[in-house]
Amino acid sequence: TTGQWRTPVVLFEPLDTSNQSIIGFDMFTEPVRRAAIEKAMADDQQHASGVVQLGEGAGVAQTFTGFLVFVRLNVETAPEVINASRSSTAGFLYAAFRAQDLFQVALSHSPLLPVNVEVYDGKPEAGNLLFRSEAPPAERIGAKLLARRDIVVAGRPWTVLFRPTSAFEPPSSRAIPVMLGLFGLLLAGAIALVARYQERTYEAKSALHEATEKSLLEKDLILQEMKHRIKNSITRVLAIARQTASQATDVKEFSASFSARLQAMAASQDMLTRSRWQKADLGDLLRIELGQVFGKDLPEGVLSGPEVLLDETTTQALGLTFHELATNALKYGEAGNSVGALKVDWSIEWRGRERTLLLNWRETGQKNLEAPAKTGFGTKLIDVNVTRELHGTIARDYRDDGLKVEIRIPLTA
């Protein structure tokens, strides 16, 4: 060689009988290898050669199409001489790649793609071919569906061409995915519509079930209320009879007074029934209920409070509540002997635009009232009317001198 540099191969791994002849081969004498070596001498980067026949010129029996990658060895490894000039080059490390083996290994990984691959060193020309797949491209669609990728390998430009093989299925019509999409939308809409109808059916069944349960509860409550009111009415009649008999001087006077009280009781009950279907005054409602128990002529000062109009629901609930309170006062309190022992007053509390009815029921006397050990139906009925029906509160205070009941109820506009 007449070249300026000598680059004989001094070490090769693995060294066996098939490649021993490569030792001593001067790579700088071959133009393609020399171009890569000169680039490697200029820096510390890896540089690939062009297409070479591995083993050619070295006396090897079989040659392979491939390429080599070179990187230089510096005289010193200190950082300040890493980018030194060519005079610092002590030699080169190189790796030889058989193109056929390299790309077959890369393309053999799953999934196996139905494509023909051609790899060129530089432009896609016959003399630059590095690798070509064994499966040829499909005749009809191979040229139409060509994909090209330009890449750089160790400073060397490569061109990779992809073409479908006969195993590749041509793309379907564009109308098919559109139709599938429309069908999917229609199916989703139908499913959503059916789901909505099912939801409405479930809601209707749930509402019907709740209404049925509520109706049964109300029916049971009404039946118990009727039984209780009949019992209380009989108790009232007996109490009226005893009071009338204790004050009457003869049978004629007793008959007249007792009949008048029974007629007043019936008239008051009729007024209460009519008041449930329209606005009713709180004071009138109290007079009717207390009049049924203690007689129409209530003493002055028993009731005191401003005019308060009640709607149908509040009228019904409070009517039952006053009925139970009055009956209990007649049975267990001092009011059974003297109605003057009973005082009922009420007022309206404002908080912004919200109104609250505050009603105080006071029973005074010599009887020492204690909280009952067992809650009867009347007490339960009062609590249900105030807390659940009217969303209010009720508090009972049993004192040595009587009973105080405080009721708070929100009023509608």
Show Cβ contacts of residue 225 under 8 Å, excluding neighbours closer than 6 positions: 320, 381
Q: How many CB atoms lie within 10 A of CB 180?
A: 11
pLDDT tens for the chain, residues 1 to 413:
677 788 888 888 888 777 777 888 888 888 899 999 989 888 888 999 999 988 776 666 678 889 999 998 876 653 454 454 555 778 888 998 988 888 888 888 777 788 888 999 999 888 889 888 888 887 777 677 788 999 999 999 999 998 888 777 666 667 788 888 888 999 999 999 999 999 999 999 999 999 999 899 888 887 887 787 678 668 757 866 776 677 678 888 788 767 755 665 565 456 556 655 557 788 988 888 888 777 777 888 889 999 998 887 788 788 878 888 887 888 777 776 766 788 999 999 998 889 999 999 998 876 666 777 777 767 887 888 899 989 999 999 988 888 899 999 999 76
Among candidate residues 350, 351, 349, 330, the one with its CA nearest the CA of residue 341: 330
φ and ψ at residue 354, rounded to 5 degrees: -90, 135
Token pair 């060294």 is found at 15
Quick one: pLDDT at residue 79? 47
Q: Which residues, other chains included, contact 158 with Cβ-Cβ below 8 Å and sequence gap of 6+?
A: 119, 120, 121, 122, 130, 150, 151, 152
d(CA 117, CA 132): 6
One-letter amino acid for residue 198 of the chain: Q
This prediction has a pTM of: 0.40
**Strands 393-399 and 354-364: what pairing?**
unpaired
Write out the two tokens for 58. 């070295």
> In a 3-state reduction of DSSP, which class is residue 23?
coil
Assign 211 to helix, strand or coil.
helix
Q: What is the pLDDT of residue 12?
A: 84
Distance separating alpha carbons of residues 273 and 24, to the nearest angstrom? 126
Backbone angles phi, psi at 79, to 5 degrees: -60, -30
Please, which residues have CB within 8 angstroms of residue 71's CB and are 6 or more apart in sequence?
A: 40, 44, 45, 46, 47, 92, 93, 94
Dump the DSSP string for 106-173.
HHTSSSPP-EEEEEEESSS-GGGEEEE-SSPBPTTTTTTT-EEEEEEETTEEEEEEEEEBTTSPPPPP
* Region for residue 130 given its phi and psi (left: phi exceeds 0; alpha: psi -120 to 50; beta: otherwise): alpha
Which is it for strands 303-304 and 342-351: parallel, antiparallel or unpaired? Answer: parallel
Q: With left for phi above 0 and alpha for psi between -120 and 50, is residue 95 left, alpha or beta?
A: beta
The DSSP output letter for 8 is B
Tokens 């049978």 -> residue = 251
Distance of CA 154 to the CA centre of its chain: 54
Taken in order of first residue, the domains within the chain and their CATH numbers are 20-102 (3.30.450.350), 110-164 (no CATH), 194-411 (3.30.565.10)
So what's the pLDDT on residue 305? 93
